[in-house]
Structure 1
Amino acid sequence: MNDVLLAIGTRKGLFLGRSGGRGGWDLTGPHFPMQAVYSVGIDTRGDRPRLLAGADSSHWGPSVFRSDDLGAAWHEPAEPAVKFPEGTGTSLERVWQLQPAGPDEPGVVYAGTQPGALFRSEDGGETFAFVRSLWDHPQRPEWGEGFGGQAVHTVVTDPRDPRALMVAVSSGGVYRSADGGESWEPSNSGLKAEFLPDQYPEFGQCVHKIARDPVDPDRLYLQNHGGVYRSDDGGTHWTEIGKDLPADFGFAVTVHPRRGGVVYVFPASDGSDRYPPEYRCRVFRTEDAGATWEERCAGLPGEPHYGVVLRDALRTDDADPAGVYFGNRNGEVYASADEGESWRQIARHLPDVLCVRAAVIG
Structure 2
Amino acid sequence: MYSNTGLGVAKSENGGTTWVDQVDGMTAVQTFDIAQANDKNIVWIGANGGLAKTTNFTDTVPTWEYPILPDVGISSVQAVWVKPNNGNYVVAGLSDYISISTNGGATWNHASTPAFFGRIEEIVPSSVDSQTLYAVYTNTSLIDDYYNGGVLKSIDSGVNWTELNFPTTLASSALAVATNDGHDVLYVGIGSGGNETGVYTYNGTNWEKLDEDFNGLYVNNILVQPEDNNIIFVSCEAASTIGSLFKSTDAGATWMVITAGLTDANHLGAMAVQSDKNDTMYLAGQESSSNQGLIYKSTDGGESWSTYYTGLKQEFYYALQFDGLISGNDRGLFSLKSLGKITLKSYRQNGQATLRITLRDAATRDVLSDRSLKIYRKVSGQTWKIIKRATTNKRGRIVVRAAAAKKTKFKVIWQPQSADQAEYTKTTSRLLTID
Same fold at TM > 0.5 = yes
Q: Structure 1 counterpart of 2:53, which letter?
A: F
Q: 2:248 aligns with which of 281, 286, 292?
A: 286
Pairwise CA distance, 1:326:
1.6
Pairwise CA distance, 1:239:
0.9
8 A Cα contact 1:12 1:37, kept in partner: no
- The 1:323–1:188 alpha-carbon spacing in structure 2 relative to 1, beyond 3 Å, is farther
8 A Cα contact 1:283 1:296, kept in partner: yes
Please name the residue that 2:43 is paired with. 51
Please name the residue that 2:178 is paired with. 213
Q: SS at 1:299's partner residue?
A: coil
Q: Structure 1 counterpart of 2:242, which letter?
A: R
- The 1:289–1:128 alpha-carbon spacing in structure 2 relative to 1, beyond 3 Å, is farther
Pairwise CA distance, 1:309:
2.7
- The 1:67–1:338 alpha-carbon spacing in structure 2 relative to 1, beyond 3 Å, is farther
Q: Structure 2 counterpart of 1:169, which letter?
A: Y
Q: 1:359 aligns with which of 298, 301, 323?
A: 323
Pairwise CA distance, 1:176:
1.6
> What residue ranges of structure 1 are gaps of 5+ in the alignment?
1-9, 14-29, 85-89, 144-149, 194-204, 269-273
Q: How many residue pairs align between the two structures?
A: 285
8 A Cα contact 1:51 1:70, kept in partner: no
Please name the residue that 1:130 is paired with. 109
- The 1:358–1:177 alpha-carbon spacing in structure 2 relative to 1, beyond 3 Å, is same
Mean Cα deviation higher: 69-78 or 253-262: 69-78
Pairwise CA distance, 1:345:
0.7
Write the distance in 1 (CA, Å) between the matches of 2:229 and 2:178: 6
Q: 2:285 aligns with which of 328, 337, 340?
A: 328
- The 1:288–1:322 alpha-carbon spacing in structure 2 relative to 1, beyond 3 Å, is same
- RMSD across aligned positions (CA): 3.0
Pairwise CA distance, 1:116:
3.0
Please name the residue that 1:120 is paired with. 100
Larger radius of gyration: 2
Pairwise CA distance, 1:280:
3.0
Q: Structure 2 counterpart of 1:110, which letter?
A: V
CA deviation profile, 1:108-138 (whole Å, cap 9, x unmatched): 332212x232233435x5546233312xx3x
- The 1:267–1:296 alpha-carbon spacing in structure 2 relative to 1, beyond 3 Å, is same
- The 1:95–1:128 alpha-carbon spacing in structure 2 relative to 1, beyond 3 Å, is farther
Please name the residue that 1:39 is paired with. 33
Q: 1:168 aligns with which of 136, 150, 165?
A: 136
Q: Structure 2 counterpart of 1:188, which letter?
A: N
Please name the residue that 1:185 is paired with. 162
Please name the residue that 1:70 is paired with. 58
Q: Structure 2 counterpart of 1:38, which letter?
A: F
Percent of aligned positions that are identical = 20
Write the distance in 2 (CA, Å) between the matches of 1:71 and 1:283: 35
8 A Cα contact 2:41 2:54, kept in partner: no
Pairwise CA distance, 1:281:
7.0
Q: Does structure 1 residue 297 correspond to structure 2 residue 265?
A: no
Q: 2:200 aligns with which of 229, 235, 255?
A: 229
Q: How does 1:225-264 map to 2 (within 5 A)?
A: 225=191, 226-233=197-204, 236-243=205-212, 245-264=214-233
Write the distance in 2 (CA, Å) between the matches of 1:334 and 1:248: 20
Write the distance in 2 (CA, Å) between the matches of 1:285 and 1:340: 8
8 A Cα contact 1:157 1:164, kept in partner: yes
Pairwise CA distance, 1:97:
1.6
Pairwise CA distance, 1:284:
0.9
- The 1:11–1:239 alpha-carbon spacing in structure 2 relative to 1, beyond 3 Å, is farther
Pairwise CA distance, 1:295:
1.8
> Which protein has the bigger strand share?
2
Q: Structure 2 counterpart of 1:62, which letter?
A: G
Larger RCO (CA under 8 A, 6+ residues apart): 1
Q: Structure 2 counterpart of 1:111, which letter?
A: A
Q: Structure 1 counterpart of 2:203, which letter?
A: D
Q: Structure 1 counterpart of 2:202, which letter?
A: S
Q: Does structure 1 residue 110 correspond to structure 2 residue 85?
A: no
Pairwise CA distance, 1:218:
1.7
Please name the residue that 1:94 is paired with. 76
8 A Cα contact 1:257 1:317, kept in partner: no
Q: Does structure 1 residue 275 correspond to structure 2 residue 239?
A: yes
CA deviation profile, 1:188-242 (whole Å, cap 9, x unmatched): 24x362xxxxxxxxxxx42101111155542111112322111222xx3211115
Write the distance in 2 (CA, Å) between the matches of 1:358 and 1:348: 18
- The 1:129–1:338 alpha-carbon spacing in structure 2 relative to 1, beyond 3 Å, is farther
Q: 2:276 aligns with which of 316, 319, 339?
A: 319
8 A Cα contact 2:273 2:282, kept in partner: yes
Q: Structure 2 counterpart of 1:308, which letter?
A: H
- The 1:106–1:11 alpha-carbon spacing in structure 2 relative to 1, beyond 3 Å, is closer
Pairwise CA distance, 1:106:
6.0
Q: Structure 1 counterpart of 2:226, which letter?
A: P
Write the distance in 1 (CA, Å) between the matches of 2:214 and 2:128: 32
